[in-house]
A = this chain, B = another copy of it.
């Protein structure tokens, strides 16, 4: 079997959401496990596989055109990332998202991102600032919500990149990606997004002046605004 990324045959019938995911894979993967894991994670984080969706090993194997084994290994990794619930002898289910989960995610981001930003600011250089600025202008031009989320994530990470703490950054990036789940869930119902570009500009300006305290203050306000918006959406949806 070749991991040519493109155009693995897709079974005719079956879960249409997964089939759509398989249809447009970009990069090439060295192992089938990598391929399945990356594709499923993308699907979950992007919201195309919504919370509660059961993931049957045999069905996935058929859709991905591999055997059940790489599927199982991929599911194990997703379980360790808390993206699916794996119950012995019962199977895997995409983890549900709730107001509590969103609050949890924001609590973690509130803790990690100020730390990353503070460590990073002294070491950012002109190139970093230029890249961050470029990402802001790209966001201004972007209309598609999917791409928008990625740009936002990259902007945040660009300001944290010089923290010199790879594990801290990896955790932060993971939580940023998780946050997208909630934002997209909100978008799917509300239609459009308020990207708070003033906050982004203010953060960048503070970083340029090496004013970590101000940058962190803006960041926390930025996170709180998003948290309140998402929380309100969940409450309104429940009530």
**Chain A, 85-112, contact with B by CB distance < 8 Å: what is the 0/1 string?**
0001100000000000101110110111
A167 contacts B115, C-beta separation under 8 Å: no
B76 contacts A167, C-beta separation under 8 Å: no
Residue of B nearest to A170 (CB): B82
A interface secondary structure, majority = helix
Q: Please, how many angstroms separate the alpha-carbon atoms of A112 and B167 in the complex? A: 13
**Chain A, 174-210, contact with B by CB distance < 8 Å: what is the 0/1 string?**
0000000000000000000000000000000000000
Which A residues between 92 and 147 are near B, CB-CB below 8 angstroms? 101, 103-105, 107-108, 110-112, 114-115, 119
A107 contacts B80, C-beta separation under 8 Å: no
A165 contacts B103, C-beta separation under 8 Å: yes
Q: Which of B33, B104, B166, B168 contacts A166 (CB 8 A)?
A: B104
Taking the complex as formed, is A213 at the interface, i.e. its CB lies under 8 A from any CB of chain B?
no
Chain A interface bracket (under 10, 10 to 19, 20 to 34, 35 or more): 20 to 34
The 10 residue pairs across chains A and B that have the minimum distance between CB atoms: A80-B80, A111-B115, A104-B167, A76-B76, A111-B111, A104-B165, A77-B80, A30-B88, A73-B76, A107-B165
Q: 18 A-B contacts, Cβ less than 8 Å apart?
A: A30-B88, A31-B88, A34-B88, A69-B69, A73-B76, A76-B76, A76-B80, A77-B80, A80-B81, A104-B165, A104-B166, A104-B167, A105-B167, A107-B115, A107-B163, A108-B167, A111-B114, A111-B115
